[in-house]
Every structure is written in C-alpha cells, then in structure tokens.
Structure 1
Amino acid sequence: MPDQTEEATYAEAVQIAAQLGGFAPQSALQRRMRIGYQDAHALQDRLIAEGHLDAQAVAAERSEHLQRALTSYAEASVTVAAYEEPGGAYGLPRDGFSSYQDASQVAQDAQETARFYGATAAQLTAAQEGDVRA
C-alpha cells in the first residue's frame, strides 16, 4: 500500500499535469518536484495509466530523449575510438586524467540513458559505430 509521502507526491504531480494542460514533461516534474529522472519517469507512467497525461505526447518526449542519448553515445564512442587507435590518434596518453576518461564516462552514461529509454541492442551497436538513426 502506498504511504502518505508517495500519495502526496502523486497528488502534486497530478496538479502539475493539470496546470500544464495534460502534458507534464519529465524535466518539469524533475525541476518542480526536485526528483530524479527515474522517479519522474515512474510518475509519468502512473499519470498516463490514470488518465492525467497524454500518452502520445509522453511517448514523443521519450523518443526524443532516446535520440539524444544515442547521439551522445555515438559522439562519445567516436572520440573513445580515436584515443584507442594504435599510436593514439590524438597523440595523448589514455591513462591518468584526460579527455579520454571524460569521453569514456560520457559514452557509459549515454549508453545507460539510452537503455533506460528503451534502446535496442541494434540501436546501441549502430550508435557505437557512429550511426545515430533511432
């Protein structure tokens, strides 16, 4: 059974959805409620199930998030690959604090985000190879 805090959070989300005309972007829920993207995603799912949000609008928003994540993953993967080429395309060491580590972290984060938004294995493989079409 949901506790009072969960119900108060949900009631606030319903109010936000009503204020925004039946579409509460995930980022709006995050900012206004000071919650993470996973919690906002779960709230959107519940709001859709109970008829407070337009499912098509939310699906379009999530598709956009997926496309952005795949694009970030593709760009970071290309950078990582350039560092990993024999002799190092950038002529910089891969160990220690470097742009290589930054690119690796961005690639990892973008891949995780893309998976969260439903990326398929084929989409991730294509993005890793530089193809960002979702």
Structure 2
Amino acid sequence: MSRKPKVLCLDLEGTLISNAVSQLPRPFLKEFLDGCEVLFERIAIYTSVPEPSFRKIASLLVSEGVAPAWFQAVEYIEWEGPVKDLAFVGEVAQDEVVLVDDIELVVHPAQRCEWIRVEPFVAPYSASDTELKRVLGELKRRLDVSKPN
C-alpha cells in the first residue's frame, strides 16, 4: 500500500461471528475490536446482513460484553452487486482501506491487495480459535505500528 490505511472494513458472518442465525461471537472478538479502534480512524461493517439485523446482533454482542460499546453504533456500509467494492466506502482512496473478510469471491479482484483473508469461523466452533489475534497482528504489521512516526 502506498498510503497508510485509514479505514477498516469488517465482514460479520464467518469473520466476527458464526452467522446471523446462531450469532456466536468469535473468540477474542472484544480484544480484536479494541485493538482495531486504536489502529484506524474509521471502522465500518461491510456485510450482506441487512443493517437492522446487524444492529440487533451488535447490541446483543455489546450487552453480552463480547464487543465494546461503540460497536453497536459502528458505521455500516451500504452496497450492492456481487462484490464488496471499496468505492462504496467513500471519501477515501481505495488504498487507504483494508477489508477483512473470509470469502475471496466477494472481494473485488482489483482490490485484493487491500484484503486480509480470515479463516472462516464455522462449526465446530472452537473456543481456542485465535484467528482474530492473527489478523490483528497482520493489521499491525501492515500499518507498521512498531516504527515511530
């Protein structure tokens, strides 16, 4: 990336939670979201789950203490089409956005360099899953947070 990413777009199903039906939070979800809040100017949800359903899920995750309070009001990206085009994020260059998602088919082919693949969170759901820790480490590496400005 030629510019430091400003916006983090997060998928919901298979990435942060199991799915919109069972709504099982991925292990280390709160720690991951807290870490992302420190790294990025903007965080947004980029999911196929309709916004009203997402808001209910987010409120439940916050009430259960597995997501930070800000998560229930996090920005929601409206989009259409077969892929998650980063142009829908708006107000930033595409190389200033990072997309975290578990499904390659929904990532715009020309924007794969802005994508971090997460292993899908699927049954059997393991309490020892550390994928969000790995992704947080990858985000820190991409942002090169170890070097002073």
Quick check: TM above 0.5?
no
Which of the pair is proportionally richer in strand? 2
Report the structure, 1 or 2, having the larger helix content: 1
Higher relative contact order (CA 8 A, sep 6+): 2
Greater C-alpha Rg: 1
What TM-score do the two structures reach when normalised by structure 1?
Answer: 0.27
